[in-house]
Amino acid sequence: MQTRQIAVGSTRKPKLNAVVEVASAIATLLNSGQALDVVGYEVDSGVGHTPASRGELMQGARQRAEALQAKLRANGTSADFFVGVEGGLDVATENGVKRVFLESWAYVSDGTAGHFGCSGSIELPQALAEEVLTRGKELGLAIDEFAGAVGIRDG
């Protein structure tokens, strides 16, 4: 059985788990007898700690995948697919009201061509959005404070 390597530009559990879940679903659709192996690597997204626009989310996802490909190439290794996942905020105005949404974007490349995909989104409470966008607090910390818990983004 041939194993195809999927490299992910993050070592965070939620991002890796999302890619593993998708790879498992795809493996059954391929019906080719190939196993898919998902491995995470730490790379920088090249964007701020909390991307605050759709463009910045997409840029971060692409740059993670491209940085990962370069990192593996420099180490003399490779993968069949390179995945960058970036989470953050998208700000939109609807009916004159500023609305802030939490969403994730992914960029998947075979090293030659790549494509984007995004999650659904959920509107943030105004107080939480202000903590991040106005006061500059990192999203994960702001969510923990808002929810009265610790490590929500990694759960």
Q: Which tens digits make up the pLDDT trace of 20-53?
A: 999 988 877 766 677 889 999 999 999 988 999 9
- The answer to whether residue 154 scores a pLDDT higher than 80 is no
Give the mean pLDDT of 43-71. Answer: 95
Return all residues near 143 (Cβ < 8 A) that are at least 6 apart: 128, 152, 153
Under CATH, what is the fold of the domain 3-87+104-120?
Maf protein (3.90.950)
Q: Any idea where the domains of the chain sit in the sequence?
A: 3-87+104-120
Cα–Cα dist 14/31, whole Å: 26
pLDDT in tens, 84-137: 999 999 999 999 999 999 999 999 999 999 999 999 999 999 999 999 999 989
Nearest alpha carbon to residue 115 among 123, 105, 124:
105
Q: What is the pLDDT of residue 35?
A: 82
87: exposed, middle or buried (Cβ count in 10 Å: 0-12, 13-18, 19+)? buried
pLDDT at residue 31 in the model: 64
- pTM equals 0.90
Q: How far apart are CA 146 and CA 135, in angstroms?
A: 14
- What pLDDT score does 32 carry? 67
Confidence of residue 1 (pLDDT cuts 50, 70, 90): low
The angle subtended at Cα 42 by Cα 40 and Cα 48, nearest 5°, is: 125
